[in-house]
Structure 1
């Protein structure tokens, strides 16, 4: 059975129609710090400093990083399962320890352990205050992949977005050895050729879902990039797609 493991530096939700829906939760789950997650259970999203030492079987989302080399996990912390840290793009490594700043992981929290179902990282444009986040499952089924994109206005005033067509975002996969594009979500899709103007109020989030019934790739690792197809846009989100 072919399995797809995707760990992105940021995550994207898109829709073929491009209109999306508005919500503030992370993939429908409350966003918590490791301290807030203490004593909680159920489906949640936790944001913290990702720290892992695979040789000891330890994977944690920490409240803070403690200055040293390698950095240490600052308590309180949530134990995590379901992440292959060696395949997370953008992590640092030293002395058998992996770490990454400001990682959001969504999953099921039970007795202080988060069984991760999706990983999200964030990109923010300080000029506009727009935050662009992409949520991708750690593992998905044989052929289909759902990408989730969240655009949040973290400024103190409204931000006007202009989409030139019905497309709201783009996801592209490249062969890391050659740089050749091997997948583009918009390929063979048609979109309304009409300008859409959307105003995001301060603190408001626009959510898109991009579904792909068959990504159609051979086994291997692929570089992922994703963009919001609006003006202004927060920039490009990058990550990695691993097909098993």
Structure 2
């Protein structure tokens, strides 16, 4: 059955958070940004935006700098985390450029004020952008060290009253072990927040899962490498894992 564009009744959610890792933007490279990959992900976002869905995004910074790795190499953790936050701003600006090439109005909103580059985070203003069907990319994490972009995505999703977090990964859901290493790995169709924490399933870090659980915010884990996957899952098709209460 064809999907009627701009008809959110054909989708499972009307406002969502898309969380992707920085590594998702580097394609087959080992580092940095791969413009064709950024453009492909932007096209996925556009296909969902065309359905009338309001979209928030949080992008990690691991393709440029990861705070935990920096601190592991002897750098002071707070400094390393701030460097990681700046990396997320670079990724957000790259995604904004790709989306605006597709004529999608986009705002980069940073938890660390840098007015010449992007907007500061003001919740009511961000909500208004969403109501105007602009894509909001939240950058610089929560603005605080010791918090991951998973936690930032969950925090912003709650503040923006998103109906779910869609976490785009390289696999089509949550498995009991790494499916790339173990052919007998089993995929969960659904899994509870507590199971994720107890079994260390690695969906998101513990603080993000706990925050989602406390606010009953479902997390949908799907493959971002599957063309049309984001749109298909929002329309009720495709393979994914739902994390819920």
What TM-score, normalized to structure 2? 0.26
Q: TM-score, normalised on structure 1? A: 0.26
Which one has the bigger helix percentage? 2
Larger radius of gyration: 1
Larger RCO of the pair (alpha carbons < 8 Å, separation 6+): 1
